[in-house]
């Protein structure tokens, strides 16, 4: 059972309704994660507009979704793992590529460098070394791209913590976390 129940959309205030309508238009439904964080329209707006901003980024939707499944698995968030596996496939990744990304494995050296960097950001609470940043640069990422990779990690930590802390019910086809 959820630790924080989803907002009943029928009882939402005007700001919540405005945001829920945008999410409904994008997804065809309002996923439970958004309804749960939606208790605070400020938190909902922060989450939703961050997704929108990053969707316009340079690293591409496929890599962004691969980062998301890796971060979700590290943070033990089945909700985000499930959602981003679907979204990654919608962005052009195969199921095998998404399953590999969940384990920190990419199909090319450049994407591998991004996943390695994202993993270090999460595992070491952002305390990466200059050599870690240099490795991502050497793989062909610009400083703008590196900042964007960090932004994807940060947004996914926000969503992971939302779903894990509030035990949000998964409303996507379930994907299992890796065994630890």
Handedness of CA 102, 173, 90, 27 (dihedral sign): negative
Beta strands in the chain, from DSSP E residues, in sequence order: none
| DSSP labels, 120-168 | HHHHTTT---HHHHHHHHHTT--HHHHHHHHHHHHHHHHHHHHHHHTTP
Using one digit for the tens of pLDDT, what is the confidence trace for 77-122?
Answer: 999 999 999 999 999 999 999 999 999 999 999 999 999 999 999 9
Evaluate whether 70 touches 104 at the Cβ level (below 8 Å): yes
What are the sequence ranges of the domains in the chain?
13-55, 61-165
| pLDDT mean for each 10 residues of the chain (180 residues) | 86 96 97 97 98 97 98 98 98 98 98 99 98 98 99 99 97 92
Q: How far is CA 94 from CA 25, 87, 97, 107, in A?
A: 25, 11, 5, 11
* CATH superfamily of this structure's domain 61-165: AhpD-like (1.20.1290.10)
**pTM for this model (two decimals):** 0.95
């Amino acid at each position: 059972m959820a630790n924080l129940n989803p907002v009943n959309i029928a009882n939402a205030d005007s700001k919540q309704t405005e945001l829920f309508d945008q999410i409904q238009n994008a997804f065809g439904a309002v996923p439970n994660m958004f309804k749960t964080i939606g208790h605070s329209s400020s938190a909902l707006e922060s989450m939703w507009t961050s997704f929108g901003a990053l969707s316009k980024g340079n690293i591409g939707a496929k890599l962004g979704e691969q980062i998301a499944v890796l971060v979700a698995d590290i943070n033990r968030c089945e909700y985000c793992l499930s959602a981003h596996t679907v979204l990654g496939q919608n962005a052009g990744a195969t199921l095998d590529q998404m399953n590999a990304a969940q384990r920190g494995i990419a199909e090319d050296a450049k994407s591998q460098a991004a996943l390695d960097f994202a993993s270090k950001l999460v595992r070491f609470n952002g305390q990466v070394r200059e050599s870690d940043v240099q490795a991502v640069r050497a793989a062909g990422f610009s400083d703008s791209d590196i900042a964007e990779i960090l932004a994807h990690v940060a947004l996914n930590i926000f969503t992971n913590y939302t779903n894990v802390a509030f035990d949000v019910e998964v409303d996507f086809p379930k994907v299992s976390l890796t065994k630890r």
